[in-house]
Copies of this chain bind each other. A is one copy, B any other.
Amino acid sequence: MPSAAVHRLPAGAPDDVSAVERAFAEGVIDPRGVVAVLGKTEGNGCVNDFTRAFAAAEFRRLLARHAGETAAGAVCLVMSGGTEGALAPHWLVLERREGGRGPSPALALGRAHTPALPPEDLGRRRQAVMVAEGVRAAMDDAGIDNPSDVHFVQVKVPLLTAARVAAAGARGAEVATQDTLKSMGLSRGAAALGVAVALGEVGAEAVTDEVIGRDTSLWSARASTSAGVELEGHEMIVVMGMSGRWAGPLAIDHAVMADQVDVEPVRAALARLGLDARGQLDADQRRRLVALLAKADPGTGGSLRGRRHTMLDDSDIPATRHARAFVGGALAGLVGHAELFVSGGAEHQGPDGGGPVAVIVERGA
């Protein structure tokens, strides 16, 4: 029976994979078992953030050296830029081990790569459909049958570049937007709705070209999608959930923040997994919390609980950077540290201004 291990390791720079290499050398991680690497890198998280590609390139080479080209090519590398505030750059290495023991059901991991997405499909229903199929494949890979056992789906999606827009145009195809920054949001949004369809949160017929990026009432409680120029045209999908076909000490649950300060649902999710805290987690609870993954978003309304904020009007700092810093602070206040996977741009991921949060916990004895 397989067992999932999650290794949270520090990154000294976007290309600093030394902690992972050391874990390989010491036998802590078997490189051939690596399913995915989720990385928080220290760029701006927007269009010209090359720290994601730099990290992905180094990991691709590291994995090829240790596990061979084929295995390395199958690993999902999901780099998410932006460590605003005190958020710590780090890697989450997700590993599948055989011969797992311990409690079951337990944390289960699955992955899938979709075929290449034509530029003109990006940000449209066809992208959502493709992602929904990918999520189902990743659920199969994870041994999860029931969508309600899925607690987080991390998807890395492509974006449009001037070159891709031109390539589509040369074939007479029209893209959803010519604005490359906007294409990031549309791509994240379409993929999130694909997750929602696969998990039964939104009906497949509701996901039309028109609603993507517009109808904020449609959302997934468990999708987290990141865009990056380093991806050619396909998506990488990682499913995390609970499965009776997996055993091991780790468990996962999720929560939905309704807005940027709504940390109480996260506290409740932690409590359900045995980390019941009045205020901040104590040192032992902190140690047992293996990973926290969350989406942060400024929302479209320009206010939080009736009070105006200025994230959307600030022409010096992108709104997603503000949101990651602030939501990162709110979650760090709850957890007691800031090595958290807080990702920005939550289109169709949680309600407007809010976002999904997953917590992975080592169960007590």
Contacts and interface: CB of A to CB of B under 8 A. Distances in A.
Interface string A296-324: 00100010111111111111111001110
A5 interface: no
A181 B314 CA distance: 10
B42 A83 contact: no
A118 interface: no
A46 interface: yes
Contacts of A280: 261, 263-264
A257 to B, nearest CB: 10
B50 A313 contact: no
Interface in A165-204: 180-181
A260 B316 contact: no
A90 B328 CA distance: 23
Contact of A88 (B309, B314, B318): B309
Given A48-B316, A263-B333, A264-B279, 11 more contacts: A13-B53, A43-B50, A48-B313, A54-B57, A57-B58, A84-B317, A180-B312, A260-B332, A264-B280, A317-B321, A326-B332
Interface of A: 10, 12-15, 42-44, 46-51, 53-54, 57-58, 83-90, 162-163, 180-181, 229, 260-261, 263-264, 267, 278-280, 298, 302, 304-318, 321-323, 325-334, 336-339
21 contacts: A13-B50, A42-B310, A54-B57, A84-B317, A85-B309, A85-B322, A86-B322, A87-B309, A88-B308, A88-B309, A263-B279, A263-B333, A278-B279, A279-B279, A305-B336, A305-B338, A307-B338, A315-B318, A316-B316, A326-B329, A327-B329
